[in-house]
Amino acid sequence: MKVSTRVEYGLIALTDIVIHCENGQSVSAPDIAKRQNISHKYLEHILLPLRQAGFITAQKGLRGGYVLSCKPECVKLSDVLNALDNTLLAGTDTEGEEGGLRPVINGFFWQKINGNLKEYTDRMSLSEFVAQARSGVSDGWDNYVI
């Protein structure tokens, strides 16, 4: 399965924000971009749908940046994925397909994979996702890469 850089970088940025705003401070986009080696300009385009979906809030001013809008345990990973790419968890449409192997393969293979992915991401909260990301990083987690 191939995931777009928008989804990949969106998850990375959101994880970075969760980790670095735990003490209540905002996290600036340039800091995220530098830590995660992402273009700042591209990152701003990725943060927009996360703001529009209500996961993060932008704070202006000298110490401005982004903070999480709600508790990470209240956010489903599926909601984040849908905000970044609403086609990722969409089911395979087999309506109107007749004959051949295509409807059979779509039905027993792709629909099950999509269903399992949706079920998995519906069960996983953002806090669980961040905890797993942290566990995969060495002791110096300030310099982590997902």
pLDDT at 11: 96
Supply the range of the domain harboring residue 80: 5-90+126-143
The CATH number covering residue 14 comes to 1.10.10.10
pLDDT at 18: 93
Residue 119 belongs to some domain of the structure: no
Residue 60 belongs to some domain of the structure: yes
pLDDT at 62: 78
CB 81 within 8 A of CB 7: yes
Q: Which residues of the chain have pLDDT under 70?
A: 1, 91-99, 138-146
pTM value is 0.81
What DSSP line would sit under the chain, residue for residue?
A: ----HHHHHHHHHHHHHHHHTTTS--B-HHHHHHHHT--HHHHHHHHHHHHHTTSEEEE-STT-EEEESS-GGG-BHHHHHHHH-TTTTPPPP-TT--SSSHHHHIIIIIHHHHHHHHHHHHH-BHHHHHHHHHHTS-S-GGG---
Residue 45 belongs to some domain of the structure: yes
Instruction: Give CA–CA dist 56/77, Å, rounded.
Output: 14
Residue 100 belongs to some domain of the structure: no
Query: Which structure tokens are listed for 18?
Result: 């969760």
pLDDT at 15: 95
Residue 59 belongs to some domain of the structure: yes
Number of domains within the chain = 1
Residue 131 belongs to some domain of the structure: yes
Residue 117 belongs to some domain of the structure: no
- 100-123, pLDDT tens digit by residue? 787 778 777 888 888 899 999 999
